[in-house]
Amino acid sequence: MNVVSWFEIPVKDMSRARAFYAKVLGHTLSDLPAPIPGMEMAAFPFDQNAPHASGALVKAEGRTPRGDSVLVYFQCQEDLAKELRRVEAAGGKVVTPKTSIGPWGFIAHVLDTEGNRVGLASPK
């Protein structure tokens, strides 16, 4: 069992953040009922029986985007270079280019439109 069950990425502008992740990762985010009044949530695709964790973008008081906190990695299908090519066009910035992590594959770090640092990972 993987120990991470859920993650939340804080955002300032939900529309802008949704557009960034949809463009870079190629997934549609869905509205998610918020447990707290005034909170907005947009969920990444989720399959209860699939490997890896899922999560959501969250806009709420007290949730501040940061580039120097917990790092979430998004699994890319085959080669993360494909997603990296879309980062700047989506309003983000590549911080760490595609880097080998030996037999585990490759990773890269990007800044999203909100200022969060997130990781991309792939086998090739």
Domains and CATH numbers, the chain: 6-122 (3.10.180.10)
Q: What is the pLDDT of residue 7?
A: 94
CB 16 within 8 A of CB 112: no
Q: What is the pLDDT of residue 114?
A: 97
Q: What is the pLDDT of residue 78?
A: 86
Q: What is the pLDDT of residue 1?
A: 60
d(CA 102, CA 110): 20
Q: What is the pTM of this model?
A: 0.89
pLDDT tens sequence for the chain (124 residues): 677 888 999 999 999 999 999 999 999 999 999 888 999 999 999 888 888 888 999 999 999 999 998 899 999 988 999 999 999 999 999 999 999 999 999 999 999 999 999 999 999 9
In this structure, which amino acid lies at residue 99? T
Q: What is the pLDDT of residue 47?
A: 87
DSSP string, the chain: --S--EEEEE-S-HHHHHHHHHHHH----EE---SSTT-EEEEPP--TTSSS-EEEEEE-TT----SSS---EEEPSS-THHHHHHHGGGT-EEEEEEEE-GGG-EEEEEE-TTS-EEEEEE--
